[in-house]
Amino acid sequence: MLAGCTQPRPVDPTPAPTGSSAAPSPSATPTTDPEPVLVPDGTADENLPLFAAVTADVWATSDQGSGRAYVDALAAAGFDKATMEVTRDVSTVGNPAESIQFSVRWGDQCLIGQVGPSTGDPVAVVVPVLAEGTCLVGDTRPIDW
């Protein structure tokens, strides 16, 4: 036996028109969420939707294991490359990293993304800046491109 779960659909409180000549009401038009955009004067939380969308977009490509791909995509979306950090995407013995972290410092907050085989789905969060003034712990690679 198979079972499945779905979320209930919102119920339109207006009754459905009867008869074949009735036109659909404007409220029946499906709405879509707007594409996330950079909010330059906003908070890290306000910019998390764009950060998460960029992370997911890169994760869906063949470049999903390249830290540079995330940095480049975030910069293309308007985030300041000078405020970014990224971990290495290759281990010290030359194997692909089990996970990659990348960040954008946003004032006293950090937008942090993590991807990789050990991570599962991409993760994007907002956390406070570390006491050292950085977002990521440990050795990060230079962003010199």
For 66-105, the pLDDT digits (tens) are 999 999 999 999 999 999 999 999 988 999 999 999 999 9
- pLDDT value at residue 77: 98
pLDDT above 80: residue 6: no
Give the tokens for residue 1.
């036996």
- More confident site: 129 or 16: 129
pLDDT above 60: residue 16: no
* Mean pLDDT across the chain: 85
pLDDT above 90: residue 144: yes
Residues 117 and 112: their CA atoms lie apart, in Å, by 17
> Order of strands, edge to edge, in the sheet holding 123-128?
84-86, 100-106, 109-115, 123-128
pLDDT above 90: residue 29: no
Residues 113 and 124: their CA atoms lie apart, in Å, by 4
- pLDDT value at residue 28: 56
> Residue 75's closest CA among 51, 98, 57?
51
Spatial CB neighbours of 68, under 8 Å, sequence gap ≥ 6 = 86, 89, 145
pLDDT above 90: residue 31: no
- pLDDT value at residue 10: 42
pLDDT above 80: residue 5: no
Residues 124 and 82: their CA atoms lie apart, in Å, by 19
